[in-house]
Structures are given as structure tokens and as C-alpha cells.
Structure 1
Amino acid sequence: MPTLTFALNHMTAPGLKLDAFFALAVSLGMNAVEIRNDLDGNAILDGTTPAEVKALAERHGVTIISINALQRFNEWTPARAAEAGDLIGYAAACGARALVLVPKNDGTGQAEGERQANLREALEALKPLLEAAGIIGLVEPLGFEICSLRSKREAAEAIRAIGGERTFRLVHDTFHHHLAGEPELFADLTGLVHISGVEDPAVAVSDMRDAHRVLVGPADRIGNTSQIKALLAAGYAGPLSFEPFAPAVHAVANPKAVVAGSIAFLRENI
């Protein structure tokens, strides 16, 4: 039986302050966490300094495996470059290992040729910034039909084309992988796996959105267990990070119990 290593993304319990979130991860037997820069009233948006975040992580004995995320990274502008510099600097100062890179997801930049050129331009610009800080760039294709980077193959080809294999890795998100319908895994280039499930029996795959994303359990429709088994068989040995976006999950009074239930399900079925 493969050894499963789990991590916790702050989106699992976004109402918890960082101290309580780190404590939740530890209570679940995890020492790897992802923090976010899109949670109002919470670190990073509330002005918490990277030194404070680093001290909290050290006190709890957790490793910050990523900051999630630089949005619209493949629309490279002076403003994006400044934002990237700030986030990479924050990541380095708080002890984070990586920065998640999320493509624009508004129906623009999808044309053949245009999207590949935009992606390569952004990766080439990010590469020296990340390397100077010792931070990994985690490229996360999104499965939505309006996304400018749906294909992990295109991401992998761009990373290899610029000699970026040591600077960039892919995020395999089980939700987005299912939506994209791309069978290849690219386990050798995968640096992180995000896991969430969809249980709503009525929603069509093309209509699945973040609000449908719950913890992985027996009613999951998107094949988390088969995806994880395939990734492990192909050599992936990194963490599986819980990233549910459903308001119903965020409203749970005892997040430890529900996450522990999902861990138990995955351990039994993988």
C-alpha cells in the first residue's frame, strides 16, 4: 500500500486565523500547509508580515509548501511583474517553498499561438525572479472551458522549452484535471497535487465550479482515487493537499472531523 502524505490548504477552513489553521493541520497529523493571499481578514491580506508568518509556522512545526497564488500570471505586464516580485519576496521571507501560478480565466487569451506565446513570456520573466529567491513556481492549469491554460501538456512543453524544469513544477488539481479531460498526468513534472471532490449528482461536468468542490468521499464523481493511484504509480511522491471551495465545507463547525474522515476514506481506497 502506498504511503499517502497529506497537506492542508487554507481554503479548507478559510475562517480560521493562521495560528488556528496551522494548529488544525498539526492536529490532523500534517506538517505541510498552503497559505493564501486571497482571504479577506486573514494573512496575507490583513497585513500580517512574513516574519510573523514564519514565526507561527516554526512554532507549530509546519512547512509552508506554497503561497496560493499569483493570479493571471500568463498576462505579463509591469503591474504583474511588480506583484510577482512582492509575492516571491513574501514567500522567501516567510519560509514558503513555492508560489502557485494561476492563469487568467476569463475567456481571453485562448487563441492558438497567442496562449502559448503568453505562457512562455511569463515563464521566462518569472524564472530569474524565482531562481534568485530560491522559490519554485507551481504552474496550475485550470480545467474551465474559459481558461487560457487548460492543458498540462502545453505547460510542460513551455517549461521544458525554456529549460525551466528545476524552477517550475506542475500542480495536478484533481478537479481541474477531470474538467480538462486531458488523460496525461506528467507525474515527473508534478510538484503538488490539490484534491477536492464533486458529489452533486445533477451538475454537468461543464457546469462544475469551485462552489461544488467538497472533501473527497465515497460519493465523489471526479475520480480522485483513480487519479491519485495513477499519479503514485507514475512516481509522484509529494503531498496531497486538501483544497475544497464549497461553502458547506467552510461552514462546518468541526473541520478536523470532516478532514479526518476524508483522510480515512482515501487511505482505505488507495
Structure 2
Amino acid sequence: MRFALNHMIAPAMPVADFFDLAVSLDITAVEIRNDLADNAILDGTAPGEIRRLAKDRGIEIISINALQRFNEWTEARAGEAEELIAYARDCGAKALVLVPKNDGTGLGDGERQRNLSEALAALKPRLEAAGVIGLVEPLGFSVCSLSSKQEAADAIREVGGENVFRLVHDTFHHHLAGEPAIFPALTGLVHISGVTDTSVSVGDMRDSHRVLVDPSDRLDNIGQILALQAAGYDGALSFEPFADSVHALSDPGAAVKASMDHIKAAI
């Protein structure tokens, strides 16, 4: 079982310290982010410096998270994509996560599919030229313009993008979406987080409820991981908690280790 750490585990932690945290847990795969204020990438850290910090520690950067609203393809979005793809290439990141717009627009049948195919077709040559994988991440929120992994898989095939696109299976969003199908052969990354708050309904779950996976998890992370592994998925399981309670931990390493131990024992 291969675990990874997303920088959202400790978003205020400087990137070098974040890499050291991974090493302390015997984790060699990390995801860096472009949405953390006063931290790399937003603070202007050069991609070559990120590459050096990772190489010195034997760390693999499996993704940059993320190009937002990727399926609203505009001239501005194309510019953002080119900058992030170049950063991924130059820092040694294997992939760029692609997050759909999540504001209640673009939900119409037909419109969703057209917007998605247009964006994937435009991204495909850019990603291919850089040698970077595009990780399409459907979100389970009702206001999201791409919540179905089936639609994402169909669009990837439509544009002939099987060589450059993969899906993100996020256990939180998979549970919210209620779509039973999984796509292990097309899955390039699994994001794991749990929800333990018993007072919130599934429809009202938000990123702020996402904690580390423990025995009180309501999302059936263990069942999802078992199903993916049984179907052939052998990639990374990346911790991505958004809850303030996790970000405030004085010893995030101990908390991650406890979650890893729970998952290993349950699997």
C-alpha cells in the first residue's frame, strides 16, 4: 500500500518542512499545491528549487493541485494551464490535477459534456508536449459541473486522451456523488479523507468536514480502497484533509501515522 501526502495536511508548513514530514513517515510521494498563501507555489518559489528540495530527500512529486475551473475553457484559462503545466514539468511533478467549476453553472445536459470535451481537447497537446499527466477530478457536490466519473471517462475516450489523462478517485467526492462505478484502470490517484461528524447529512458535507480516516469514518474509505485494489488499482492513496482541526494539529505526523495504521489494519 503506497501512501502519499497532500500539502493540505499542513497548509501553513513551509514546503521543505512538509517534505521532511513525509520522509519522517516513510512516505516518498507528495502533492504540492498552488492555492496556499505565503507558501510555494504562490510565494514565487522557483520550480527548480522545489525539484532540488524533493530530490535531496528522495521525494517524488506526484502532482500539482490544481488547475481550477478547467472545464470553463477561456483564453485566461489557457494561460493558467500553460503556466502550471510548465511549473509541473520544471519542478518534476508527474501530473496536474484538473478541478471543474463548482458554482452551480454549466450543469445542463449537453452543456456539461461539450465544455468538458473542449477543455480536454485543448489541454491534451499541452500536457503531451510537457510529459505531464492530467488528473481529472470529479467533485460530488450538487453544484459541480462534473460530478460523474463516467462522464469524465467518456470524454477522455472521446478526445483520444487515454495516454495523457487519468481520473482522481476522491473517497469524499465518490461518497457524495453516489455513483457506484469505479474506474481502476483509468484511475491515476486516490485522495483519502474521512468524515466523522454525525450531525451533518451527506448532502450538507463540505470540505470543512474532511478529517483523517479513523474508525469513526462515515465515508467507507476502507470499502472504497478494498474495491479499488481488488479491481487492480495499485497507485498512491494521498491524504487530503481540509478540516481546520487537522490543520491546527501540533503533531500532524502522529495523526497521519495513526490513520495509516488504522487503514493498514483494516485492509
Q: How far 1:47 moved relative to its partner?
A: 0.4
Paired residue secondary structure (1:163): coil
> In structure 2, how many angstroms separate the alpha carbons of the residues matched to 1:98 and 1:236?
17
- Does residue 62 (structure 1) correspond to residue 59 (structure 2)? The answer is yes
- Does residue 26 (structure 1) correspond to residue 43 (structure 2)? The answer is no
In the alignment, which residue of structure 2 is the partner of 1:143?
Answer: 140
Paired residue secondary structure (1:6): strand
In the alignment, which residue of structure 2 is the partner of 1:81?
Answer: 78
The unaligned stretches of length 5 or more in structure 1 are none
Letter matched to residue 43 of structure 1: A
Q: How far 1:86 moved relative to its partner?
A: 0.2
Q: 1:91 aligns with which of 64, 80, 88?
A: 88
> In structure 2, how many angstroms separate the alpha carbons of the residues matched to 1:165 and 1:180?
23
- 1:207-246 matches, within 5 Å, as 207-246=204-243
TM, length-normalised to structure 2: 1.00
- Does residue 170 (structure 1) correspond to residue 196 (structure 2)? The answer is no
> In structure 2, how many angstroms separate the alpha carbons of the residues matched to 1:29 and 1:52?
22
* Residues 77-115 of structure 1: CA deviation (Å, up to 9, x unaligned): 000000000000000000000000000000000000000
RMSD between superposed Cα atoms in Å: 0.3
Q: 2:124 aligns with which of 115, 124, 127?
A: 127
In the alignment, which residue of structure 2 is the partner of 1:179?
Answer: 176
Q: 1:115 aligns with which of 96, 102, 112?
A: 112
- Does residue 105 (structure 1) correspond to residue 89 (structure 2)? The answer is no
Could you list the structure 1 runs, at least 4 aligned residues long, displaced by more than 4 angstroms after superposition: none
Letter matched to residue 115 of structure 1: R
Q: How far 1:60 moved relative to its partner?
A: 1.1
The unaligned stretches of length 5 or more in structure 2 are none
In the alignment, which residue of structure 2 is the partner of 1:154?
Answer: 151
Letter matched to residue 11 of structure 1: M
Sequence identity of aligned pairs in percent? Answer: 68
Paired residue secondary structure (1:138): strand
> In structure 2, how many angstroms separate the alpha carbons of the residues matched to 1:70 and 1:15?
20
> In structure 2, how many angstroms separate the alpha carbons of the residues matched to 1:269 and 1:161?
38
Q: How far 1:15 moved relative to its partner?
A: 1.3
* Residues 7-27 of structure 1: CA deviation (Å, up to 9, x unaligned): 000000111100000000010
